[in-house]
Amino acid sequence: MKYFKFLLLSLTITSCNSSDNTIEEDLTPPDPTPVFYKGMDLSFQSELEDHSVTYRDVNGSPVDLLNYVTNKGTNLVRLKLWHTSQNGENTLSDVKAYATRIKNTGSNFLLDFHYSDFWADPGTQTPPVAWQNMTDEEIRIAIYEYTKDVVTQLKNQNTLPEIIQIGNKTDSGFLWNYGKVWDEFSNNWGNYAALVREAIRAVREVDTENKVKIMLHHSNVEHSIYFFTELEPFALDYDIIGLSYYPQYQTKDLNLVANKLNILATTFGKDILMVEVAYPFTLQWDDNQNNYIGSLNQIIPEFSPTPEGQKAYMEWLVTTIKNIPENHGIGFCYWAPDWVSFPNNDTSVSGGSAWENQCLFDFDHKALPALDIFSNN
């Protein structure tokens, strides 16, 4: 009888211990669900707000743009930064002020370093005037110190970006001719990589908790594999491949776009963010400025230049990104959804708008159906 009581007690204790272990395993927190970025580049906002541009919801009621789009599902806002701005816009002061507003909405922040005093792209990568005529060693120090100072200032005001982009559309390198990798400088990848490495080092030193993801940006889905292959030997410490896709400049073959994205993901094992995308809701215009897109031969045949076609394009894009292997497709960022035309702006905001027919607001500044993509994904 004593033995039976002892055995029963032992089984009870063992059972309780087993139950406790099971409970502990059940309480193990699951891996966090990866963020799917539904972003917008709102770099024009600080300038447009100076002109009191009004945006409206689908019913025509005025809205605060940033609050409206974040309530619609936007969870990433991209801002470009110029070193010593030629036109007084996109300065560090502008970025810091708007970054605070971004963070107050609960959205993520993407900082786009142009490393120039004005627009930087594959055909124009002019160093800041302050950095011209430097030696190779001096410009490496300059990019390190400048990057570190900017990121430190953002961190100190509690607006550290979630993503930092090292250069804008750097297909041909940046900071020409120091980091140029085009034409007669096609063997200059070592110098380009050294500059990128210094910028990344500056970010990592400030971001001691390793919260920031580093992105490198190429402007063309179809031709980007070459660029990232050339960088492989340098083992740069970056996290995200950033890509632009504008069908008026690139292939309109949707299968080819998807194929190239899949190859990038499986070859390099990096996350992919479609960091600049857009599509027209009309081929008409709302001011006297020529638009970047205005004819049928510039669009994708599957998607008409209508509000419905714009939305269908975005639906295709999101599906394509989400189908990138190994969940490496992490989202998109719509470029200048807010760059609308408004009365008397032909000589003000960047000489008028060349983009109003690719915005996410129509010519009455009312929200378009494509904004539903931000709510539904």
The tokens describing 114, both together, are 């142009």
* pLDDT of the residue at 25: 53
Give the other-Cβ count within 10 Å of 308's Cβ.
Answer: 13
- Sequence-ordered alpha helix ranges (H) in 251-294: 254-268
pLDDT of residue 343: 77
pLDDT for residue 86: 95
For the full predicted model, state whether its pTM sits above 0.85: yes
Each residue's pLDDT, cut to its tens digit, for the chain (377 residues) gives: 433 343 333 434 344 444 444 444 555 566 667 899 999 999 999 999 998 999 999 999 999 999 999 999 999 999 999 999 999 999 999 999 999 999 999 999 999 999 999 999 999 999 999 999 999 999 999 999 999 999 999 999 999 999 999 999 999 999 999 999 999 999 999 999 999 999 999 999 999 999 999 999 999 999 999 999 999 999 999 999 999 999 999 999 999 999 999 999 999 999 999 999 999 999 999 988 899 999 999 999 999 999 999 999 999 999 999 999 999 999 999 999 999 998 766 555 555 799 999 999 999 999 999 999 999 99
Q: What is the DSSP letter of 145?
A: H
Which residues, 6+ apart, have CB-to-CB distance to 177 below 8 Å?
185, 188
Reported residue count of the chain is 377
* pLDDT score for 325: 97
Half-sphere exposure of 130 (CA within 13 A, CB side): 13
Q: Give the DSSP letter of residue 107.
A: -
Position 288 scores a pLDDT of 86
Q: What is the DSSP letter of 361?
A: B
Domains and CATH numbers, the chain: 47-376 (3.20.20.80)
